[in-house]
Amino acid sequence: MLVECAMMCQMSVSMMSMNGQFSKAHCQLCAQVCEKCAQECAMFKDEHCQECADICRMCAEQCRKMASI
């Protein structure tokens, strides 16, 4: 899940950089992937997993903002 999330985020950056036709839709999907990743990470009590969950939630929030611009 982490690798998929990271790849999705990288692709979103690329799509936004080129102002791609589907960049907003891609950002919406990226937000969903980040939320799912946050849920998965939050299931583990390790500090680094909780930190990952927080970062994924922040990324999802930013993706939703980008999708609404």
The model's pLDDT over 16-65, given as tens digits with 9 standing for 90+, comes to: 999 989 999 999 999 999 999 999 999 999 999 999 999 999 999 999 99
User: What is the number of domains present in the chain?
Assistant: 1
Domain of 54 in residue numbering reads as 23-69
Q: What pLDDT is stored for residue 3 in this prediction? A: 96
Residue 43 falls inside a structural domain: yes
- Residue 20 has a pLDDT of 86
**47 within some domain:** yes
Q: Are 5 and 38 in contact (CB under 8 A)?
A: no
Q: How large is the average pLDDT for residues 1-13?
A: 95
Tally helices (H) and strands (E) across the chain: 3, 0
pTM for this one?
0.91
